[in-house]
Amino acid sequence: MKKLIIPLFFVFIAMGCTTSSVPKCEQNHTFSMEFTNGSIDPYDLYINDKFQQVIHAKSKVTYDIPAGYWSAEVIQDSGYAVYPTDNVYSNTYESCTSYYIVF
């Protein structure tokens, strides 16, 4: 009986280790997107049509976005003469990947 218990113990330990080593992005089915504002003006950031935050001049933010189709829009908040600059980005990405956008 002891001969059986010791190998089973190691099997359960090994199984426990493999399930905890799954990356968070794979568990949540997300990818990472970095938005960099290279401008001297602030921009409003919308991801999947939801306002996220104002990205200040010369700064960057990173978001984990659900994998699959996504869209982002950055709209100039101030510093424009007539119309704000409005950039729209969209694509389909797999989980556990990283991308960046500079505007």
For the chain, give the percent of residues with pLDDT over 70: 81
Topology of domain 24-102, CATH: Immunoglobulin-like (2.60.40)
**Burial state string for 57-76 with b = 16 or more CB within 10 A and e = fewer than 16:** eeeeeebebebeebebbbbb
Give per-residue pLDDT as tens, 69-93.
999 999 999 999 999 999 999 999 9
Give dist(CA 42, CA 92) in Å, integer. Answer: 27
Give dist(CA 88, CA 35) in Å, integer. Answer: 12
Give domain limits for the chain. 24-102
Give per-residue pLDDT as tens, 19-33.
568 999 999 999 999
The whole model's pTM is what? 0.78
Contact 32, 97 (CB under 8 A): yes
